[in-house]
Structure 1
Amino acid sequence: MEVGGAGLFFSINYERQLSKAPGFSWRVGLGGYTDGDFYITYNTGLAYLFALNEAQDSFIEFAANFTIAREYKGISERSNRADLFENVVPGLSYRKHFKNDMIFKAGINGVFNQYGITPWLNLGFGKRF
């Protein structure tokens, strides 16, 4: 789960390590965003973890994500036209892996889209398996 970050306001993500940690990982997620209207967000991206210690439980994460936000339209609404916008969301985070396989992550992202550039914070919690 992540608040902020690539899913914009919130997201639930699946991440798969592509190499031994530290190394590359791929993620995909589903989330939400609101600015008065509600948007469903779909994100995907790559990250690279740099170990900060020999135990390899503290990392710096560099990420590059792509997020599509699509306005949610109810079934009863007459218009089929939904607002859609794309975001490129690079990020830099601190990440900690705990002995009980829990993960904590906190960092900053930049959201690049048709409206300009917005700095964005992220805070995430998860479970390794």
Structure 2
Amino acid sequence: MPLDHKTPDADPIRIETDIDGILTLRLRGELTSAVLREAAERLVAAGHGTRVNGVLFETSDTSIAYDIADIVSAIELIMEELSPRRCAHVSHGERTRPYMVMESTARAFAVKLQPFACEDEARAWLLQR
């Protein structure tokens, strides 16, 4: 195999937890309904049995290949099971419609959701008391 052969990431879903009770969901590549469903289920499993203060969704390196109902279903599962205080969505500025769907779905669960272009700003906002 040539040294310049590009291979896709092994897993388009990465979940991180931190000491402040923030779960970070990092998504890469094409976001299909199957990827969204699996990401939501894995995020819920990672937060099970712990206090979740906030969720950070990082989708800067993704492309959309899902229906609106798929994102609503994923966000509803996360909100129902984890009950975070706040959520932050870090992405590029071209995601107005998906963000609006995420925000309205989170609002139904009394969860604040804000968009950000910078992960540091998003994390600082999540940590506000």
Fold match, TM over 0.5?
no
Structure whose residues are more often strand by fraction: 1
Structure whose residues are more often helix by fraction: 2
User: Rg bigger for which structure?
Assistant: 1
Higher RCO structure, 1 or 2 (CA under 8 Å, sep 6+): 2
Structure 1 length-normalised TM: 0.27
